[in-house]
Amino acid sequence: MMRHADPSETQIVRRRVAPLLREWLLVLTMMSVALLLLITSGALARLDQAIYDLTVRWSAPPAPESVLIVTIDDASLESLGPWPWDAARHAQAIDRLVAAGAQAISYAVTLERGSSDAPLVAAIRRARSQGVRVAMPVRIRVPGPDGKAYLAEPPPAGAIPGHNLIRTDGDGVVRQVDMIIDGSARWPHLAVAVTGAESGKDAALVGVPPFRARDGNDRLRAEAERLIGFRGPPGQFRSLPIMAVLAGEAPRQMIAGRTVLVGITAGGLSDRFATAVSGRAGGMSAVEIQASVVADLLQGRRLERAGTARSLTLALVMLWLVMVGMLILRPGLAGVFGIALLILVLMSAAAGLIAIGRWVGPGGAVVALLMAPPLWAWRRLAVVNDWMTRELTALGDLGLPKRLSRAPTDPVTRATEMLAATIDRVSELRRLADAALRGLPDATVLVGNTGQVVASNGAAEALFGADPSLESIDAAFAGAGLPAFGSAALAAADSPWRGEFRARDGSVREIRYTPWRNAGGAAMGWIVRFADISALRKAEAAREEALQLLTHDMRAPQASILALVDRAEGMPGETANRLRQLARRTIGLADGYLHLARAEAGNYAMGDVDLAAIATEAVDEMWPQAQAMGVRIDGLGLDDEALMWGNHSLLMRAIVNLISNALKHAPRGSTITVRLRGDRSDWRLDVEDRGPGVPAMLQVQLFGRFRTGGEGGGVGLGLAFVRSVAEGHGGLARCQSVPGDGATFTLWLPGIAAGRVMAAE
C-alpha cells in the first residue's frame, strides 16, 4: 500500500524553495526599480540611439524620383564666381527651374540684406503665377540684438517662409526635425512649406497646438517633432549643379514635375551633419537632410517616438518574462529563451518603425535581457551554495572516514570540497548497501517503477537465475496461479503476490514487499523478499504430528482406564472416583495442550465475525454446566452486533475457558456476568465472578502455563490459551481482582477496521 509523502518532507521542500523565491523576487524588484530610473532619467538614450541608427540603416527605403536636389557646389562657384551671388542670379535660377517644369521649389539660400532683392521678388511672383510654390528660409539669429531672445528676418516678398533649423541629439547626430517653430509668427519647416503640408491640410501636422504669437523676448518654441526617414547614406537623391541649370544644360525631363531643393554644398559655405545613416560616408548636407523630410511628406511617411512610458512597459514585460523563464525552465532552455526574447525585442522595435512609424526605444528591454540572467545566476548560485554548505555540514561524515583535502580558500571552493567528500562517503554507503543487500539470506529484488528488476542479491540469483527478471520470477512460480509479476501487480491493494507460495524448486516462499522511496518520499519501486520458510513449515508439520501422536497416546489409555473403572466390580468407590478424576485430568491436559499449541502457532483463518454472537454462543454452551452448579450466567451488551476480524472457533474456545474458569470459583447461588462494550475500533469483554478472588501476587502469573488461581481444579492451560488467542488477534488478556470480592477477567480485542489493517501489515 503506497503511502503519501510525510508532511515533514513537504516542509523540507518549502525550506529549500522559499529562499530561492525570495531571492528571485528581490532580483526582480531591484531590476524593475533600476529600469525605471535608467529609462526615465535618459541614461539609456545612447543605447536606444545606437539601436535606432542600425535599424534605420538596415531599413532605409530608396529615394523617390519626385525629389531633385540642385547644389551650389564648388564647381558652380568656380564657374560662376565667388559667393555671395546677387539677387539677379538667384532670380535667373528660379526662372530656369520654372521653365523646366519644376512642381515646387525650396530655395534654401539666405541673401545678404544689403543687396536689392527686387529681381528675386519678381521671379518668385512669376513662379507663383504659374502655380509653382517657392519656399525660402526665415533668417533666425539666436540671440537677437538688444537682449532679445532671437531675431527673425523674413525671406523676400512672395516666398513662402519656413525655418531650416537643424537640431542634433546629445551625441551630435541628427535624427529628428521640428516641423514647426513658433515665434513672432508660425514658421513651418521648409519641407512643409514647399510641399504644402500646412497644419489643417495634411495629416502630418494634425494635433499641433494652436499658434500663440511671441515677441522677441520669448524663446522660440518647437512643435511637432518627427524622426527623419533617411533614405540611406549621403548621395541617394538625384542632384544637379546649379551651373547646369543656369546654363540651360539640365535635361528638362530631369526637372519637370519634381520638387526641387536648392541648397549650398560647397566646402566652407555649407555645414555637414552626422546622421543616423552617415556611417563612413561622412556628414550629410542640410539640403539632403531636407530632401529626406520632403520625401517623408510626399510619401505620407510619419515617424515618431512612442514615448518613455511605452519603452518602460516593454522593458518591464521583457524583464518579467525572462525572470519567469529562468525560474521555471532548465538553465540551457532558459538561455535559449532569453536569446529568443532579445531577438524578438529588436525585431519588434524595427517592425514597429517600418510598419507603423512608431519607435519604441528597446534599450531598457535589452539591458533587462542582458543583465537579468547573470544577476539572477549570481544570486541563485549564492543561495544554492549557502544551502548546499548547510546541508553538507548537517550531513556530517556519515560515520565513515573523512576525505583528506587542502584547506579551502573561498566559499565556493569550500562547498566544492565538502561536496567531493560527501560524494566519496555516499559512494562508500552505496557499496555498503550493495554488500548488505547481497548478504541478505533471503532472496531479495528491487523492482523499479518502470517494471525492471534493478538490483538483486545472491539468494535471488540462485532462485531466479544469474540475471533475475520479471519473466524469470514468473517462471519460478509458474504453478502457483499468480498473475504476471511487476509494478502493476505489486501496487494493487489486494495484490495476490503477498503470502506463501510453492516455488518451482519445491521450496515454500513467503513473499512480502514494501515501497522503495527516495529522500523526498516519492515512490521509486518495490523491495520484494522471497523468504524460504520450507524448514519452518516442515517443523510445524512435524510438531502437529507430534501433538496428534502425543494427545492420542495420552487420551487413548485414559479413555481405556475410564471404561475399565466403569465396568470394574468390587472396586472401592473412593478409589474409582480417584482414578476417574486422574484420567479426566490427563485427558483435559492433552486437549488443553493441543488447543494451546495451535493457538500459539498463529496463522489463523481470519474473517468478519460477530463477537457478541460468539459470546452468546459460549454462554449457551456453558449454561447446562452452570445450572448443574447452581450458578447463573448473565449476558450484558450481547444483543448488538460487535464486528471484528478474527477466528470464530478460537474466540469461542477462549470465552468458554473464561466462563469455565469463573464457574470453578463461583459460589452456589452467585451470578457470573459476561459484559461486552466498546465500538468498531476496540472491544472489551469482561467475565466477572463472585468467588474468593485472586491474590495480587498471583494475578500476573495466571495466564502462564500450568498456573491456577486456587483450589478449583484445572490443569493450568486454559488461561494460557486465552492469552495466546487474545495476542494472536492483536489484543490483550488481563485479570483484576480484590481478594474476597471476586475477579474480573478481561479481553481487549481490536474492531473490524483495526483488525483488517493489522492483518494487511
Q: What is the pLDDT of residues 414-472, one digit of tens each?
A: 666 766 777 776 767 677 667 767 777 888 888 888 778 888 888 888 888 888 888 88
pLDDT attached to residue 380: 81
Q: What percent of the chain has pLDDT over 70?
A: 79
Backbone angles phi, psi at 149, to 5 degrees: -70, -30
pLDDT attached to residue 329: 87
CB-CB contact of 223 with 189 (8 Å): no
Please give the Cα distance from 261 to 133 (Å, whole number): 12
Please give the Cα distance from 295 to 299 (Å, whole number): 6
Please give the Cα distance from 16 to 380 (Å, whole number): 12
Of the pLDDT bands very low, low, confident and very high (cuts 50, 70, 90), residue 322 is: very high
Cell of 284: 550629410
pLDDT attached to residue 713: 47
Of the pLDDT bands very low, low, confident and very high (cuts 50, 70, 90), residue 2 is: very low
CB-CB contact of 567 with 532 (8 Å): no
Range 706-713 contact pairs with CB under 8 angstroms and sequence separation of 24 or more: 709/661, 709/665, 709/743, 710/664, 710/665, 712/661, 712/664, 712/665, 713/585, 713/664
Using the predicted structure, report yes or no on whether residue 485 has a pLDDT greater than 80: yes
Helix (H) or strand (E) holding 114: none
* 3-7, 158-162, 296-300, 579-583: segment of lowest average pLDDT: 3-7
Q: What is the pLDDT of residues 640-689, one digit of tens each?
A: 898 988 888 889 888 998 998 889 888 999 999 999 998 667 899 999 99
Contacts of 444 by beta carbon, 8 Å cutoff, 6+ apart: 437, 456, 457, 459, 460, 527, 528, 529, 530
Average pLDDT, integer, range 149-159: 87
Please give the single-letter amino acid code of residue 576: A
Please give the Cα distance from 570 to 414 (Å, whole number): 104
Of the pLDDT bands very low, low, confident and very high (cuts 50, 70, 90), residue 711 is: very low
Please give the Cα distance from 194 to 70 (Å, whole number): 15
pLDDT attached to residue 678: 85
pLDDT attached to residue 47: 93
Q: What's the Rg (C-alpha) of the chain? A: 55
Using the predicted structure, report yes or no on whether residue 86 has a pLDDT greater than 60: yes
Using the predicted structure, report yes or no on whether residue 474 has a pLDDT greater than 90: no
DSSP state of 634: E
* 594-603, 612-621, 729-738: segment of lowest average pLDDT: 594-603
pLDDT attached to residue 523: 78
Of the pLDDT bands very low, low, confident and very high (cuts 50, 70, 90), residue 745 is: very high
Pairing outcome for strands 259-264 and 104-107? parallel
Q: What is the pLDDT of residues 276-290, one digit of tens each?
A: 998 766 789 999 999
Q: What is the pLDDT of residues 324-365, one digit of tens each?
A: 998 888 888 988 999 999 999 999 999 999 999 999 999 999
Using the predicted structure, report yes or no on whether residue 709 has a pLDDT greater than 60: no
Please give the single-letter amino acid code of residue 678: G
Using the predicted structure, report yes or no on whether residue 36 has a pLDDT greater than 50: yes
Average pLDDT, integer, range 708-727: 68
Using the predicted structure, report yes or no on whether residue 526 has a pLDDT greater than 60: yes
242 or 388, higher pLDDT: 242
Of the pLDDT bands very low, low, confident and very high (cuts 50, 70, 90), residue 367 is: very high
Pairing outcome for strands 508-517 and 176-182? unpaired
Using the predicted structure, report yes or no on whether residue 727 has a pLDDT greater than 70: yes
The pTM for the full model equals 0.57
Using the predicted structure, report yes or no on whether residue 9 has a pLDDT greater than 70: no
Dihedral class, residue 266 (left if φ above 0, else alpha if ψ from -120 to 50, else beta): beta
Strands (E), 638-706: 643-646, 671-679, 682-689
Using the predicted structure, report yes or no on whether residue 1 has a pLDDT greater than 60: no
Average pLDDT, integer, range 553-573: 67
Cell of 380: 541563485
pLDDT attached to residue 418: 66
Using the predicted structure, report yes or no on whether residue 227 has a pLDDT greater than 90: yes
pLDDT attached to residue 3: 38
CB-CB contact of 232 with 277 (8 Å): yes
pLDDT attached to residue 112: 67
Secondary structure of residue 649 in the 3-state scheme:
helix
228 or 398, higher pLDDT: 228
CB-CB contact of 333 with 302 (8 Å): no
